[in-house]
Amino acid sequence: MNSPIVRVKGKVGDIRNGYITITVPYDDWLTLTKREVREAWVELIDSRPLSDKQRRACYALINAIAEHFGDGRESTKEYLKLKFLIEDLGETADQLFSLANAPMSLVAAFQNYLVRFILEWDVPLNFPLLDMVDDISEYVYACLINRKCAVCGKRSDLHHIDRVGIGRDRHDIVHEGMEVLPLCREHHNEIHTLGDHSFMEKYHFDSGVNLDKTLCKIYKLKAVK
């Protein structure tokens, strides 16, 4: 019996006017006709080689998680890979990947998942989590969700890059859309001393994150109705 879902691998040809031409070897015309196939899902495969830096970062994060929970590295790695596939990608166990040869974009996404896991579960680290981040904006957003300082991981408050202004009641103004960073008291004081631009350069932040409705709800701030 033919599988209800058919996956075939092809070659990317021309890219013109917003359309990609893909050539796929497939000779089961009977199945195509019977199923009246008119459309196909296309998964673009990242063929860039995985960097040693990415691989080392993933293993450093996995080791920290394994040590915190008292489990072995290999079992922790497989457990986290499965959770990542199910929770972030909606895939199943038959899609498990290897850190030895997985596509760069997939491992980058897994690396970001490990960072979010560490923030959510308060996993202690002996290295700066910021150094292990592939996507700075996603990392800062995760820090905001978990009320963690984006620099050191301690409990944080909001630093408004978009100034609220002297004399304005923070509870009355609309905060949604304002640019912020989550910073602990120490780094809050530092950014006021250095100024936003110098602080951002020092810690390699491109920008803060704009408050959305979810973040406004977490911090009990007024959002757009």
* 59 and 112 assigned to the same domain: yes
Domain span holding position 164: 157-218
Whether 116 is in a domain gets the answer yes
Residue 190: C-alpha distances to residues 63, 120, 129, 197, 210 (Å): 31, 25, 19, 12, 21
Whether 42 is in a domain gets the answer no
E runs forming strands in 35-177: 157-160
* 111 and 170 assigned to the same domain: no
Q: Is the pTM of this model over 0.85?
A: no
Whether 1 is in a domain gets the answer no
Whether 148 is in a domain gets the answer no
Whether 147 is in a domain gets the answer no
One digit per residue, pLDDT tens: the chain, 225 residues? 567 778 888 999 889 999 999 999 999 988 889 999 999 888 888 888 888 899 999 999 999 999 999 999 999 999 999 999 999 888 765 668 889 888 888 899 999 999 999 999 999 999 999 999 989 999 999 999 999 999 999 999 999 997 765 555 566 689 999 999 999 999 999 999 999 999 999 999 999 999 999 999 999 999 988
Whether 24 is in a domain gets the answer no
Residue with tokens 């058919």: 6
**Assigned token pair, 113:** 């998942």
Whether 26 is in a domain gets the answer no
The torsion of the CA quartet 152, 123, 100, 89, rounded to 10 degrees, works out to -100
| Dihedral sign of CA atoms 174, 216, 220, 133 in order | negative
Q: How many domains is the chain built from?
A: 2
